[in-house]
Amino acid sequence: MSPDPAPVPGVDRPNLTALDVVRSIVLVIAVGTLALWGFATWPLPWNIVLGIGAPVIVILIWALFLSPRPVLRLHPFLRAAVELLIYVGVTIAWWLMDQPFIGIAFAVVAVGTGVVSGRRRIA
């Protein structure tokens, strides 16, 4: 077997970069954080609703606007604003769970990867 497989005709695969992996990890952490926030900080009937509902809403927003093949294409600045709103929500969730340093660290990593990715997409 050769280390470099031959390209398959008619198949266009995007190159996967380290930035794509970091962005995926940020999204998984965001969804997990919102689930943790919903289940851990609210009383019994609301913890189930918010623990399941908040991550589902973020996944739907990501699929509609931010995925590699979004359902609705937005202007790059609107796309960045939607992504930033998700990151702000997750950062606020960490602050509400009395973990401000984790919230700040998440915000720095998430916004940093978003800025680099956005600049790559525009350029």
Least confident of 10-14, 44-48, 77-81, 82-86: 10-14
| The two structure tokens encoding residue 33 | 């954080």
Q: How far apart are the first and last CA of the chain?
A: 37
Report the phi/psi class of residue 103: left, alpha or beta, with left for phi > 0 and alpha for psi in -120 to 50.
alpha
Mean pLDDT score, 53-57: 96
Mean pLDDT score, 58-64: 95
| The two structure tokens encoding residue 81 | 């604003």
